[in-house]
Amino acid sequence: MSKEATWSEPHVVVVLNWRGRTDTLACVESLVEGSPEAQVLVVDNGSADGTLEAVAERWPAVHLVALDRNHGFSGGMNRGIRHAMDELAAGTVTILNNDTVISPGAMTALASIAESADVAVCPVVRYRDDPDKLWFGGGSLDVANGFPFHTAPEDLELCESGLRSSTVLAGCCITARSDAWRRVGLFDERFFLNFEDSEWSLRAAACGIRLVVACDVSILHAVSASFTGSAARLGTFYYLRNGLLFARLAGAGLRARMEFVRRFGLAGTRHLGSRGRARALLLLAWAIGADVARRYGEAPLALQRRVARWSQESE
């Protein structure tokens, strides 16, 4: 299908904002100017940072949804996907991180690939600050420990007809038909953020959805632009807790999950000073405890308050 093609059903791009006004405006601008055939839906995840007002003033045709609070990546995107399908009658839905910049024609190309309800597609993702450096070109799963990872550039499979098969997709940009989103189901909101895209990928594959990377379509991604200050420390908690949850859902045994704790929890504390190590170990303890107690979703308020105090002390 050519770049000039028109769609009988809307292609809606869902952009999730959480206290990222500057990034969101740049992302929306790249979509409005470079992919006018797509409808843009900006979902504000309870940040109330003036982003929706700024978008409405500059681009009146962009759809807006204001959520009452921060529902995390999984919850915020789920509400955006539902709105796109139920209220905007979307035939195709793309989820898109707000810290991405999209090249002209990218959305049309992805929608064309996802025209089949049996395909979900990611673009090639490069670093926004270093476009020559690859961030995601395909994903794999370490079967032994149930851990997903980005395949190293030298290990990527060759492309066939412009597509590369991938075991997992990157949640910063996934395009699929609404039929596929409904068949697979939306993101598991237990994750809140981190690993929800990998878990969705495994469910999609189990439903017969082919997961592919469009080798000739690339976007730029700031990579974790929201993770600064206390959010960075909470990101560590989510990564550790959700890694344990994902590994269990992927069928990894206790030994493999403890290896995850050692590699991504304990090993990372070696270079820290005494106070930093104590804080990192506390985050790890919270993560393990939450997983054991099956307490998922948003981080406990007590932990959020403690992490906020740590950030104030370091300022």
Q: Would residue 163 count as lying in a domain?
A: yes
pLDDT digits (tens, 9 = 90+) for 43-75: 999 998 999 999 999 999 999 999 999 999 999
pLDDT of residue 2: 37
pLDDT digits (tens, 9 = 90+) for 163-190: 999 999 999 999 999 999 999 999 999 9
Per-residue tokens: 184: 């697979």
pLDDT of residue 263: 86
pLDDT of residue 116: 78
Q: Would residue 4 count as lying in a domain?
A: no
Check whether residue 49 and residue 129 sit in a common domain.
Answer: yes
Q: Do 95 and 14 meet the contact criterion of CB atoms below 8 Å apart?
A: yes
Check whether residue 192 and residue 239 sit in a common domain.
Answer: no
pLDDT of residue 224: 64
Check whether residue 66 and residue 205 sit in a common domain.
Answer: yes
Check whether residue 51 and residue 180 sit in a common domain.
Answer: yes
Q: Do 34 and 106 meet the contact criterion of CB atoms below 8 Å apart?
A: yes
Q: Would residue 92 count as lying in a domain?
A: yes
Only one residue has tokens 């370091």, namely: 314
Give me the residues of the chain with pLDDT under 50, please. 1-6, 227-230, 315
pLDDT of residue 311: 78
Q: Would residue 144 count as lying in a domain?
A: yes
Check whether residue 107 and residue 234 sit in a common domain.
Answer: no
Q: Would residue 255 count as lying in a domain?
A: yes
pLDDT of residue 274: 87
Beta-carbon contacts of 262 under 8 Å, excluding residues fewer than 6 positions away, are none
Check whether residue 79 and residue 23 sit in a common domain.
Answer: yes
pLDDT of residue 228: 46
Check whether residue 201 and residue 247 sit in a common domain.
Answer: no
Check whether residue 203 and residue 240 sit in a common domain.
Answer: no
The domain boundary, picked from 200, 221, 242, lies at: 221
Buried-exposed string 270-303: b where 16+ CB fall within 10 A, e elsewhere: eeeeeeeeebbebbbebbbebbeeeebebbeeeb
Buried-exposed string 30-65: b where 16+ CB fall within 10 A, e elsewhere: bbbebbeebbbbbbbbbbebebbebbeeebeebbbb
pLDDT of residue 225: 52
Per-residue tokens: 154: 């030298």
pLDDT of residue 264: 85
pLDDT of residue 22: 96
Q: How many domains does the chain have?
A: 2
Q: Would residue 93 count as lying in a domain?
A: yes
Rg, Å, the chain Cα set:
19
Check whether residue 167 and residue 249 sit in a common domain.
Answer: no
Q: Do 303 and 314 meet the contact criterion of CB atoms below 8 Å apart?
A: no
The domain boundary, picked from 161, 196, 221, lies at: 221
The domain boundary, picked from 186, 221, 256, lies at: 221
The boundaries of the domain holding residue 288 are 230-314
Check whether residue 241 and residue 180 sit in a common domain.
Answer: no
pLDDT of residue 160: 93
pTM: 0.93
